[in-house]
Amino acid sequence: MFKLFKKSPKKPNLHQLDNLYGQTICKCPLMEQISYCKRLIESSEFHLSQSSKSDDTHHFQRLMEAAHIELKLLQAKRHG
């Protein structure tokens, strides 16, 4: 008997979700990348609190999750 495994959804990638980050910010110094991710998280939280459309909500949730993941990676580089 075959077991079907449900693939977990791929974690969002900030380089793909945010063109500015993917094309420009990722080439900046590490501290500027970290600052950008923090500001992106803050602005996404603000937009989520203001948004009533489900499409917008989903977009900002994915963007915020991707920024959190990227921020963790950048902070690990900084300390490692």
Q: What is the pLDDT along the chain (80 residues), one digit of tens a residue?
A: 555 555 556 777 999 999 999 999 999 999 999 999 999 999 999 999 987 777 788 889 999 999 999 999 999 999 87
The predicted pLDDT at position 7 comes to: 59
The predicted pLDDT at position 52 comes to: 76
The predicted pLDDT at position 3 comes to: 55
Backbone Cα Rg of the chain: 15
- pTM for the complete prediction? 0.82
